[in-house]
Amino acid sequence: MKPRKPSRERIARHKPIPRDSGMPIIARVALAVAVVGLGGVVLFAGQGGLKTIVTGIGSAFTGFVDTVTATPSPSPSPQIALTVPSLVAPEEPYTNQPTVDITGSVPLQFLGQDGLLVRLYVTPKDGQPSYVVEQSVVDRASFVFAGIELVEGPQEFTATLATSDENESDPSAPISFILDQAKPKITISSPKDNAIVNGKTATLKGKTQGRSTLLAHNTRNGATASSTAAADGTFEFPIALGAGSNPITIAATDPAGNEGAATLTIRKGSGKLAAALKASRYQFSRKSLPDPITLTLTVTDPDGRPVKGADVTFTLSVPGLETIVSDGTTDGNGRATLKTTIPKGAATGTGPITALVDAGDLGTVTARHAITITK
């Protein structure tokens, strides 16, 4: 049956369903009179008055009935006492599909009723209900409205039962759909991009669309981790780190099925206070002395960040000469430098170079190297 759109008057309001008021009031009065009369017959029968009473009651009742039937009440036309249909709510109201199939059912007593229709109405956000489509109720309680178009955002659908004589039920309980075709945005609050993290894992924190499914992948070591955002969109979950740089991609799939992604890079820290010592040269010839030498020390904290203001003591032991000792402090880049000269008179052999670091609350650490004096 090709759906037909009801007239504006039909859609504007649902007509009340006429109800049968029962026995007319006049008929009720007549029945009461008859009962009273019958009581009188019983009461006076023993006194020989039965014939008189029956005759009197018969005449009165006949006249009463003649009066009633002379002005009959109009008989109401037969009406179907309609009850509302029901619609099946979706498991997930969010969708990125522009059309949906809406299913429902009608009460079994209406199956096969000629001229009975089920009508679908839609109410957009902050809008008024409007007619969508209708179909006949035939021999099955269930029905399907296929390919119903959605508008962006939330909307509610209701259904009614209607007869060919414009009798229409109240609307069903509403069901909701939300058309969402936007990719979910992912904001990572911690750690920041290119941050250095100490430890075997990093905890990813941020926000996206509520109830989105999250999947993180670390291309450095192949590690993956998953989670689900809370109703307000916040999330927090760990992922394993590998040595060095860790490029990580976080993908989010929102309840409607849209996908978004964000990336960041995390560098794994050493997990302890570290110091690296370098010398401008590690081998000298006795014949070429005196010769300059520069020692450079770099200090990093457990997260791999440079330590500023750490106290450093350099010790340079040259074979055959007095040990050279010098104090220094690391700069903003975590570096301390000693520039000195290896004088004449050194003996051939190998001597240690050390740098003792005191970084306060971060602890202490010692870096070592060696120089060699040749002939």
Q: How far apart are the first and last CA of the chain?
A: 110
| pLDDT of 171 strictly over 90 | yes
15 by Cβ neighbours in 10 Å (0-12 / 13-18 / 19+) ranks as middle
Separation of alpha carbons 41 and 125, rounded Å = 72
Overall CATH class of domain 8-13+82-179: mainly beta
Top mean-pLDDT range of 57-66, 106-115, 186-195? 186-195
pLDDT, mean over the chain? 82
pLDDT at 340: 96
Q: Are strands 224-228 and 245-253 parallel, antiparallel or unpaired?
A: unpaired
φ and ψ at 69, to 5 degrees? -75, -10
Write down the domain spans for the chain.
Answer: 8-13+82-179, 25-70, 187-268, 274-374
7 by Cβ neighbours in 10 Å (0-12 / 13-18 / 19+) ranks as exposed
Separation of alpha carbons 230 and 253, rounded Å = 13
Once rounded to an integer, what is the mean pLDDT over residues 281-307? Answer: 92
pLDDT at 45: 34
| pLDDT of 99 strictly over 90 | yes
pTM of the model: 0.57
pLDDT: is 112 or 190 the higher one? 190
Q: Are strands 201-207 and 117-124 parallel, antiparallel or unpaired?
A: unpaired
Return the ∠ at Cα 355 (arms to 353 and 358), rounded to 5°.
165
Q: Which CATH architecture has domain 274-374?
A: Sandwich (2.60)
Once rounded to an integer, what is the mean pLDDT over residues 345-371? Answer: 94
Superfamily of domain 187-268: Immunoglobulins (2.60.40.10)
pLDDT at 217: 98
Nearest C-alpha neighbor of 113 from the set 83, 88, 133, 86: 83
Once rounded to an integer, what is the mean pLDDT over residues 159-183? Answer: 94
Q: Six-digit token pair at 259?
A: 């996908």
Helix, strand, or coil (residue 320): coil
Is 8-13+82-179's fold the same as 187-268's?
yes
DSSP annotation string for 172-236: PPPEEEEE--SPPP-EEEESPTTEEE-SSEEEEEEE-STT-EEEEEETTT--EEEEE--TTSEEE
Share of the chain above pLDDT 70, in %: 78
pLDDT at 115: 87
pLDDT tier, 334 (very low <50, low <70, confident <90, very high otherwise): very high
pLDDT: is 198 or 203 the higher one? 203
pLDDT at 282: 96
| pLDDT of 342 strictly over 90 | yes
pLDDT tier, 229 (very low <50, low <70, confident <90, very high otherwise): very high
pLDDT at 16: 39
pLDDT tier, 331 (very low <50, low <70, confident <90, very high otherwise): very high
- The alpha carbon of 89 is separated from its chain's Cα centroid by a whole number of angstroms, namely 18
For the stretch 17-48, pLDDT in tens is 333 444 444 444 344 434 334 344 333 334 44
